[in-house]
Amino acid sequence: MSKINLSKYHPITDIKDHLIFANNGNVIACYRVELPDIYSLSEKDFEDMHSNWFQAIKSLPVGTVVHKQDIYFKQSFTSENLPSDTFLSQSTHDYFKGRELIEHHSYLFFTLIKNKKLNNPKYINPFRKVDAKVPEVLKENLHRFRTAVNDSVSFINNGRKVSLTPLKSKEILEISSAYFNGFNNGFDTAIELGKKDIKIGDHYFDVLAVNSESCFGDKVQTSKINERFTSDDFSFHQGFIDGLGLSLSENHMVNQIIYLDDKQKWRKLLDKKIEELNKSSNFGSQNKVILKKIQHIQDQINNDNSSRVIRGHLNVIYWHKDEKQLEKIASQIKTEFKELDIVPYYPSSEERKHYFLNSYGCFSSNFSNDDLYVTDLKHALCLLINNTNYHSDKAGIIFNDRQHNTPVLKDVWDEKKKRIKARNFAIFAPTGEGKSFLANNILRQYFEMDIRLVIIDLGGSYTKFAQLYPEQSTV
């Protein structure tokens, strides 16, 4: 059993604006990612977002590491921001209080590495300090790196669906502290790295990863049919790996790490792999399967002049207070991978420890060839999570979200006219689906905001609503 005390071996040497100068010589540009609401994207939206990510990332310098990290926490809804002045609002407040939900935070890290070759041994001590002069050595490349990252960020932000905001120094330190504190609240602790498990405070951790071309099935795609909402009349889409996001109602994080390599160098690597597999394909059916997959990747790269060869790593880190529950969570994750025709890799002992440590933003350049798959950037970007929880507006009407059935505030009045030019909205649904009930809910909340209401009621649906306030209404 080994322990890591962060106060002794802190990974950050300095922070300037949103740039981390890490103790391993890396420079990391850190951003918070704001994503669209879940269930709000069409098949075309997913295609457009995939294209925007590709255009933004493909022009980054060789040797850049791009790390997208999506962290999901199980929480209870507090109801503290809900009004509770009247009997009905108090009832709404109490009804939602304590309801379980998944809180989602998304980050994007761009890393300028000390060693531009990105060719690491299997295991690296991530806390090993380098010469303090390393940032000065990198200075000549830093300006070019910052310019390229700023261009990529501007391109993504111009796409409107995704917004990247530079992290502040305080936020960066809080994220680092929470990560190495095992997301325990109320106390600080050390990391216990055992051969059988990783334990940080009250939480046990485990990892499943996609680290080789052999993990993938026949294809990946930007989106797939959402079976839950699709009907005979309407096809509803979700992101390719959305089942590993909000749909997985457990404490977990999804790390998608991309090494932007030199195209010609890794073309040669693929050629070498194909040559080796051709020699050994008669010694097992698995070799034939892997050969076919690598040849398919090579064909895509050779036939697409805009392709960008990358090495990539995807992992899901999950944690629970009860060590026995980790097996159940792992089973859910494996089931989701199986639906995607992906066979995940389960690291053990030393590998598990390094997968956890290297999934921290400053250390994501530490993976070796044995931990990375080789493919085209377009292929890898299909593995991004592109949505999050419903966003609440600053003011509006309380509705229930589709994901956790928790309150979400929506400005149906649309005073700033973000959605439509006129201040109108309509409710459409078949008979008996709850139009009048929803309208009653909207009007009741407007009434409690001291807004004067004039209702033309042809069916008597709002008489009971008026009777709740006999001294303030006329029918």
Q: Strands (DSSP E) along 35-84, which ranges?
A: 65-76
Q: How far is it, in rounded angstroms, from Cα 207 to Cα 353?
A: 9
Task: Please give the backbone phi and psi of residue 196, each rounded to the nearest 5 degrees, phi first.
Answer: -100, -20
Return the pLDDT at 422: 72
What pTM does this model have? 0.86
Asked if residues 300 and 348 have their Cβ atoms less than 8 Å apart, the reply is no
Question: Could you tell me the two tokens for 157?
Answer: 């932000």
Q: How far is it, in rounded angstroms, from Cα 437 to Cα 457?
A: 13
Q: Which of 196, 178, 174, 199 is nearest to 187 (CA)?
A: 178
**How do the pLDDT tens digits run along the chain, 475 residues long?**
556 666 667 889 899 999 999 988 889 999 999 999 999 999 999 999 999 999 999 999 988 999 999 999 998 888 777 777 777 778 888 888 888 899 999 999 999 987 666 666 566 766 666 654 544 555 678 888 999 999 999 999 999 899 999 999 999 999 999 999 999 988 888 788 877 889 999 999 999 999 998 899 888 999 999 888 888 888 889 999 999 999 999 999 999 999 998 767 766 777 777 777 776 655 556 667 777 777 777 776 677 667 788 999 999 999 999 999 999 999 999 999 999 999 999 998 889 999 999 999 999 999 998 999 988 899 999 999 999 999 888 888 888 888 888 888 888 877 777 767 776 778 898 888 888 888 888 888 888 888 888 988 888 888 888 888 888 888 8
Return the pLDDT at 345: 96
Q: In terms of DSSP bridges, do strands 373-376 and 309-320 run parallel, antiparallel, or are they unpaired?
A: antiparallel
Query: Helical H runs in 281-385?
Result: 285-303, 325-339, 350-358, 377-381
Cβ neighbour number for residue 130 with a 10 Å cutoff: 16
For 333-345, give one letter per residue: b (16+ CB within 10 A) or e. bbebbeebebebb
Asked if residues 385 and 106 have their Cβ atoms less than 8 Å apart, the reply is yes
Asked if residues 50 and 381 have their Cβ atoms less than 8 Å apart, the reply is yes
Could you say which DSSP state residue 281 is in? G
Could you say which DSSP state residue 36 is in? P
Q: Which of 241, 69, 95, 271 is nearest to 167 (CA)?
A: 69
Q: Which of 322, 326, 308, 392 is nearest to 54 (CA)?
A: 308
Could you say which DSSP state residue 322 is in? S
How would you classify residue 313: left for phi > 0, otherwise alpha for psi between -120 and 50, otherwise beta? Answer: beta
Polymer length in residues for the chain: 475
Return the pLDDT at 46: 95
The sign of the torsion formed by the CA atoms of 168, 169, 173, 174 equals negative
Q: How far is it, in rounded angstroms, from Cα 471 to Cα 456?
A: 19
Longest dimension (CA), the chain: 89
Question: Could you tell me the two tokens for 84?
Answer: 């509770």
Q: Which residues pair with 109 in a beta bridge?
A: 30, 67
